[in-house]
Copies of this chain bind each other. A is one copy, B any other.
């Protein structure tokens, strides 16, 4: 019995990309050159002003526990960010600093879900969302989404799939793995309808800083009952620091505080002090340049992959992912990804990691490496998949 893990572990799938990543590292150790388009982590380092703030804080001995909900100054800074960037007034008391968006998702779902209650989410989608629900013995209610809704839940889909036990609807805009947005009017309509059913909408905005084109409003402008998840990882370049936040209705904050006290004690103190510098004008300038670099990469990679024969049905407006139908080449995306890795040293993520909606016919490309490396990847793909193209 001791060595048998609980059933919740069986319901959680390991990330298939981890096996590919391990294979890629092995090939690299053998001297092979691998173009990494599988990794959901920006290649940019943490911005220098953030690094300097961290170093200063550590030197000053700011290494003790903070309140479970985070440093007051950081909660205030995040509130200021919502005011400055979105013109939305969010009281700092509704903001909780967390160990990454992962910590925010665990707190948000933990405070909302009874065992057995339903969590509606888009398939394909970020794999951890399903697994948080499994961890809490909630019921995952995946909704297959297609290109016609930009791979997003729509009001019609939410209404059609709503069940008596549905408690939470999870949205992400921009989404992983598709990079697509939910149109603002649709977002507002979904939130309004779900709240009238007595449910709660959680909106993942961790890629909200990485949108190419006009920046849409935050979901926080729609309702004071929505929960928004965000992170210093992706846009702010602080992945390994493990720091993020959530915004929740004021009534849920005491429960979230209790959970955070017990599950985490607090988020990393050096990371919190570092993050204080994330909103400085100098940092935001750097981040804006990086956003432009990601946009350039997208603008190169999207047509190049289409030309090779990948069917990318929706032009992604954000994040750093392209979600491609690869049926022209394979009906087994995992074997396909393995073959590309072994034969031409190009690493991509097979669809299996994102759900059960035709995963064998989809792959995800991440443009988290330099334009030069993406060009090299495309050259290899072109030669292997469309030599006469």
A interface residues, Cβ below 8 angstroms from B: 1-3, 5-9, 12-15, 18, 41, 45-46, 51, 54-55, 58-59, 61-66, 99-100, 102-103, 106, 110-115, 127-128, 131-132, 135, 137, 167, 195, 198-200, 225, 238-242, 249, 251-252, 254-255, 257-259, 261-271
Contact = CB atoms under 8 A, between A and B. Distances in A.
Contacts of A257: 14
Contact of A55 (B46, B55, B127): B55
B65 A41 contact: yes
A5 B255 contact: yes
- Identical chains bound together, number: 2
A274 B127 CA distance: 30
Contact of A239 (B64, B128, B241): B64
B6 A114 contact: yes
Given A110-B135, A241-B270, 18 more contacts: A1-B200, A5-B255, A6-B114, A9-B255, A14-B258, A41-B64, A45-B63, A46-B61, A63-B241, A65-B239, A100-B264, A115-B115, A127-B262, A132-B263, A239-B269, A240-B269, A242-B242, A242-B267
Given A241-B269, A266-B240, A110 B8 contact: yes
Contact of A14 (B14, B199, B241, B261): B261
Contact of A63 (B46, B66, B255): B46
A93 to B, nearest CB: 14
A187 to B, nearest CB: 17
A51 B59 contact: yes
Contacts of A261: 14-15, 18, 128
A14 B6 CA distance: 28
Given A102-B265, A259-B135, A262-B131, A6 B113 contact: yes
A1 B199 contact: yes
Contacts of A255: 5, 9
Contacts of A106: 263
Given A195-B2, A239-B65, A258-B14, A102 B55 contact: no
A188 to B, nearest CB: 16
A3 B251 contact: yes
B249 A264 contact: no
A133 B7 CA distance: 16
Given A63-B45, A252-B5, A240 B270 contact: yes
A322 to B, nearest CB: 21
Contacts of A2: 195, 198-200, 225, 249
A58 B65 contact: no
B262 A242 contact: no
A239 B61 CA distance: 11
A121 to B, nearest CB: 14
Nearest 6 CB-CB pairings of A with B: A240-B269, A1-B198, A5-B255, A3-B251, A9-B255, A131-B262
B99 A132 contact: no
A39 to B, nearest CB: 9
28 contacts: A1-B198, A1-B200, A2-B198, A2-B199, A2-B200, A3-B251, A6-B111, A6-B112, A6-B113, A8-B114, A9-B259, A13-B258, A14-B261, A41-B64, A45-B63, A46-B58, A63-B238, A63-B240, A64-B240, A99-B242, A99-B264, A99-B268, A102-B265, A103-B264, A110-B135, A127-B262, A132-B262, A240-B266
A58 B55 contact: yes
Given A1-B198, A55-B58, A99-B264, A63 B242 contact: no
Contacts of A268: 99, 240-242, 268, 271
Nearest to A64: B240
